[in-house]
Amino acid sequence: MADYKFLTTWCVDASIEQVWEILNETKSYPERWKGVHSVELLRDGDDQGVGQVNRFSWRSVLPYTLRFDMRVTRVERPHLIEGQATGELEGRGVWRLYEGDGTAVVYDWQVRTTQAWMNVLGPVARPAFAWNHDLVMRQGGRGLAAKLGAPLVAHD
């Protein structure tokens, strides 16, 4: 398996509560996040969302679709959502929100690929996979800002 670690930061001129609500609305991701093809709710979580499982299908400009299930493992409203991915990607994703003059959103995505073709191509294709991830995340930041009607002040 090939391991990947990505850290993405968005700064949006909106309140932490507004940003939280949009990030927590996973079913609407396909409407505002270009790389997200579908989100299917497989299991509801508790009143905080812990235990919720969604099946995501992602596709960008590279000719493949990634599918994985994401189980919410920890929620600290409005500052943190953590989940465990299984499927074509396995690992952990953590959204962290920080309030200041607007909201800084940091996404820590530490995963490994489980598909044989991705593992074989990993050493050569790693830069393309990283570029693709960064493109999808930039699209997500722009979609979040557009949904909020707020400027995306910075993204990484």
Whether the pLDDT of residue 1 is over 70: the answer is: no
DSSP 56-72: EEEE-SSS-EEEEEEEE
Per-residue pLDDT at 123: 78
Calpha distance 123→60 (Å, rounded): 20
Kindly indicate the confidence band of residue 61, based on its pLDDT and cuts at 50, 70 and 90.
confident
pLDDT of amino acid 129: 85
CB 92 within 8 A of CB 107: no
The pLDDT, as a whole number, for residue 126 is 82
pLDDT digits (tens, 9 = 90+) for 90-140: 999 999 999 999 999 999 999 998 887 776 777 777 888 889 999 999 999
For residue 111 the two structure tokens come to 């995963």
Comparing 6 with 128, the larger pLDDT belongs to: 6
Distance of CA 12 to the CA centre of its chain: 16
Share of the chain residues as helix, strand and coil, in percent rounded to the nearest 5: 30, 45, 20
CA torsion, ordered 137, 54, 106, 73, to nearest 10 deg: -160
Question: According to the model, what pLDDT value does residue 87 have?
Answer: 97
